[in-house]
Amino acid sequence: MELSILTLNIWGIPYVSKDRETRVKAIGDVLASGNYDIVSLQEVWSDSDYQYLKQRVENVLPFCHYFYSGVVGSGLAILSRYPIVAAFFHAWSVNGYIHRIQHGDWFGGKGVGMAKISVNDQLVHVYVAHLHAEYNRQCDDYMAHRVIQAHDTAQFIESTRGQSVLQVLAGDLNTEPGDLAYRVLVTSSKLKDSYDRKSIGSGVGTNECHTNSYTDPLAAKQLPNGKRIDYILYRIGDHYEGRLLEHRLPLPERVPGQTFSYSDHEAVYAKLILKKSSSTSTIQNLIACNSGKVREEDSCSRESREETDREAVLSLRESVAICNESLKQLESHRRSYTLMAIGVIIALIYMLELQAPYGLKIAFLVLKFLLCAVIIFFVVMATIWNVMEKHGILAGKLSMEIALKGYSLDGTTVGGYGLKGEK
């Protein structure tokens, strides 16, 4: 079985994304070329864009699914050459802030979408996700959200493994290699990164690259190669063996005949091959593992497994610490909103006792209504929203702690590191 997989964040925000209609048509032409078996799309925020792409590729990718969620939709879609026999969307417990309208992540109702695809009577599970954006690396208010989303996605992938011969996560994960969210996702899900440093170099990014027409000149100057935040990760099922045939960024720098790029992100392409393991190859692999004659990427040695488990434990411990810090901040925010609500209430009571100045009666009335609205906002943020946020963070934290206990109770405490990190 050979599969050609493409992922692309199309940057399809209505009224905001530049050259959107022209770019979507160009993307449709690329997908209709027949070069891809499975396509994962993110930021498909317009239903008309999805319907256009679906119709444009129906001859080569006849099986499509859009994951509807939230106010404006999740933005996630999967297009396939092979039949989609089941689909499911798992929403994350935390997903940004409703009052930060300029970021908008909350309104997408984000989560991870899964499609079970029947390829030659074998099940391939394809997952698509778009983690919360970073926005400010120096002061990342969404770190806890993104880490919880990463762990939640990893747990979902592990829990839905089933009888699949291959699991693929393709999407914009908004986290760079080495970042905590990346480490949590990869170690907890046991997915492998399809990125091939030997073929395309170690400094090639997929966002804010200097070759992209939509990259801010200042960002391009500071980091010409951009940052790698778009991925195709995979895990081959039990009793199957396979390897990565190809990994590259397939799209040209500009849309043909235009001066702009296909998106503000680069597309990522990977080609995988797998087959059912024979009893002979299984024995050979065991002999190779025992003799130490095995390729580094096979990672079958006990030392390699222990190193992976150790990294998982360290990542989860760091994530739990971030969740604890986020809970402390929530309590601080609750007190702040409560005090601000009391302050505005006092101001409103004082205004009620005053007579409106001559000629400003309407303005005075409007000001009172605005103060009432501000009070309602502060009260909601201090109560309902604060509780929702707290429960979402707690859900992620407790899930991580259970995973940590699993590492400490399975008899292999990763080199002597228990739940508390003691040796």
Q: What residues contact 147, with CB distance under 8 A and at least 6 apart?
A: 180, 181, 184, 319, 322, 323, 396
The residues that are catalytic are: 265
pLDDT score, position 414: 46
User: Using 50, 70 and 90 to split pLDDT, how confident is the model at 292?
Assistant: very low
Which residue do the tokens 């799309």 mark? 41
Bridge partners of 6, per DSSP, are 39, 269
Q: Are strands 2-12 and 38-44 parallel, antiparallel or unpaired?
A: parallel
Query: Which pTM was predicted?
Result: 0.87
Torsion on CA atoms 273, 277, 280, 283, rounded to nearest 10: 110
Question: What is the tens place of the pLDDT at every residue in 13-57?
Answer: 999 999 999 999 999 999 999 999 999 999 999 999 999 999 999
- pLDDT band of residue 198 (cuts 50, 70, 90) is low
For 2-277, CATH number out of 1.10.600.10, 3.60.10.10, 3.40.50.800, 3.10.105.10 equals 3.60.10.10
Q: What is the pLDDT of residue 293?
A: 46
Q: pLDDT-based confidence at 201, cuts 50/70/90?
A: low
Pick from 219, 225, 126, 220: nearest CA to 171: 126
Pairing label, strands 84-91, 63-67? unpaired
- Measured CA to CA, the distance from residue 65 to residue 90 in angstroms comes to 15
